[in-house]
Structure 1
Amino acid sequence: MENPLLLFPQLNISASKDKSYYKVMKSTIKEELLEKLPKFCCRAKQKRNRLSLLLQKPEFHEGDHLAKPENLTKAGSVSPEEAVKWGESFDKLLSEKAGLDAFTNFLKTEFSEENIEFWIACEDYKKSKTAHELLPKAKTIYETFIQKDAPKEVNLDFHTKEVTSQNIGQPIITTFDRAQNMVYRLMEQDSYPRFLRSDPYLNLVKGRNPSRPTLRRRSRSFTVNDFKGVRPDFTVW
C-alpha cells in the first residue's frame, strides 16, 4: 500500500531548503525584538520607580497594622459624642488630636498620608519664632513634599510649584500658604467625605470598637458527677 501524500499549502517546502530564507527570517525576528525592547525596559523602569517610592516611605515598613481600617484610633479613646463633632467640619476634625490621628490613619489606608503630613509640616513651619529657623525647615519641606520626584510629593499645579520654589531661597512665614491651602481643599473635598462614610468612623459614632471582637460567654460544660443522683423525667417527652 502506498503511503498517502499529505499537502501543507501553508508550508513553503522550496523556501525551507534555501539558506537565505532562514537568514531573512532571523533578521526579521531580531528587528521585531529590538523594536519591542524599549517598551519592555520602560515598563520595568516604571515598576522599579513605584517600588522605590513605596520603600522610601517609612510607614511602608513600620507598623503595617496602621493601614488596617479597624485601627482608626485607639480603643476606647474616643467617645461617640466626640466622634460626632468631627463630622461638623473639617476644621473641627483637624483641631483635635484624636481626630487628626484618626484621619491620618485613614489616609494611610488609601496611601495618601503625604497630604496630611505636608499640612502638619506647614503648621509647624508657621510656628517658627525666628527667621533663622525658617530656612532649614523650608528646605526640608520643599525637598520632601514639593520638588519633582520628592519622596512624598503632593499634588500641586505647575504655577504653585514654581512660585514656591522661587521663594525657597529667602523663605518667609507665608511661603507655603498657597500650597498648603490647595492640599487642604483637596483633603476637605475628597478624603474627608470618604472618612465620614468609612466603617471605622461610623463604628466610633455608634460607640462600637471594631478592633475588639465581641466576646461570647462560654457555656458551662457538664461532667458525669453533675448527673449523679438525678433520675430522668420521661413525662417531658
Structure 2
Amino acid sequence: MTSEPRSLSGVEMRKRQAGHIEGPPQAPGQPRPNTCCLCWCGCCKCLWNEDRIERSGRETCTKMDSIEASDEHLPSLEDMGSWARSFEMMMRSMEGREFFREFLRSEYSEENLLFWLACEELKKETNPATVDEKARIIYEDYVSILSPKEVSLDSRVREGINQSLAEPSNLMYEEAQLQIYTLMHRDSFPRFLNSSVYRELLATRRRTCLDT
C-alpha cells in the first residue's frame, strides 16, 4: 500500500472539478486503496525504441533520445509528409506537436501530450530540490486519481510511481511516459492523420507551393 503525496496549492479545487471523490478528504499520510485504470496496456512494440530516422533518411533501431524543439519556421510540405511516415518525426517537430496537441484537445485527450512533455522537462533537471518539486507536480496533475487531467496508466506502472515518490528522480516517470507515448502513437496518431486539422493544413501548404 502506498500513500498520496502531500497536496499542493490548488489541489482542492481540482478535486471538486474531478467529481469522483468518495467520502471525506484523506488526511496526509493515510494509505489509500490501490487503484487500477482500465486502459490499453502499452505492451505492444513501439517506435520509442525503433525507427529513428537519420538525416540521410535511413532508419535505425536505437533508443529515442529526449526530443529538442529545433524548428523555427512553419512546417514545409516535406516536413508534413515526414509526419505521415513517422510519429517520431512529428514529435521531434515543434509545429508537429502543436498541431497534434490541437487535435488531441478536440478529442479531450490533450493531457497525454502534456504529461509526456512534462516528463521530458523533468529528465533535464539535475537539482534535487527542483526534481522533487516537478515530480510531485506531475503526480498531482497527471497521475493522481483526484486530478481531472489524470492519464491512463496500468496498475503496475502506477504502483511503481507511488513507490518512487519517497525518493523522486528525474527518470521516475520513464516507464509511464513510454506507455503514454505508445498509446498516442497507436491510438491517436492514425486519427490525427485523417483529421481535418492535418488535412486542412496539408491542403493549405500544397496551395502555397503551387502559388510560388
Match of 1:169 among 157, 166, 170: 166
Aligned match of 1:121: 118
Equivalent residue number for residue 45 of structure 1: none
Correspondence for 2:107: 110
The DSSP-based 3-state class of the residue aligned with 2:190 is helix
**Match of residue 192 from structure 2:** 195
Does the CA-based 8 Å contact 1:78-1:98 persist in structure 2? yes
- Figure out how many residues of one structure are paired with residues of the other and give that number: 140
Cα deviation for residue 89 of structure 1 reads: 1.1
Aligned to 1:94: 91
Q: Which amino acid aligns with 1:102?
A: F
Q: 1: CA distance between counterparts of 2:188 and 2:181?
A: 10
How far 1:208 moved relative to its partner?
5.4
Cα distance between partner residues in 1 of 2:126 and 2:109:
30
Residue from 105, 111, 133 that aligns with 2:130: 133
Partners of 2:200 and 2:78 lie apart in 1 by 12
Q: Could you tell me how far 1:91 is from its partner in structure 2?
A: 1.0
Counterpart position of 2:17: 52
Letter in 1 for 2:94: K
- Structure 1: where are the runs of 5+ without partners? 1-48, 55-75, 210-237
Aligned to 1:213: none
Does the 8 Å contact 1:147/1:161 carry over to 2? Answer: no
**Could you say which structure has the higher helix fraction?**
1
Q: Does 1:155 align with 2:155?
A: no
Read off the aligned partner of 1:204 and give its amino acid letter.
L
- Pair member with larger Rg: 1
Q: Aligned partners of 2:174 and 2:166: how far apart in 1?
A: 16
CA contact (8 A) 1:135 1:171 kept: yes
1:127-161 deviation digits (Å, cap 9, x = unpaired): 10222211001100011110222231000111111
Deviations 1:76-131 (A, max 9, x none): 93332221111121111011110010000110000100100000000000010222
Greater RCO (Cα-Cα under 8 Å, separation 6 or more): 2
Identity of aligned residues (%): 36
Alignment RMSD: 2.4
Q: Please give the per-residue CA displacement for 1:35-59, whole angstroms capped at 9, x wherever unaligned.
A: xxxxxxxxxxxxxx9x9349xxxxx
Distance in 2, matches of 1:202 and 1:85, equals 14
Whether contact under 8 Å (1:125, 1:138) holds in the other structure is yes
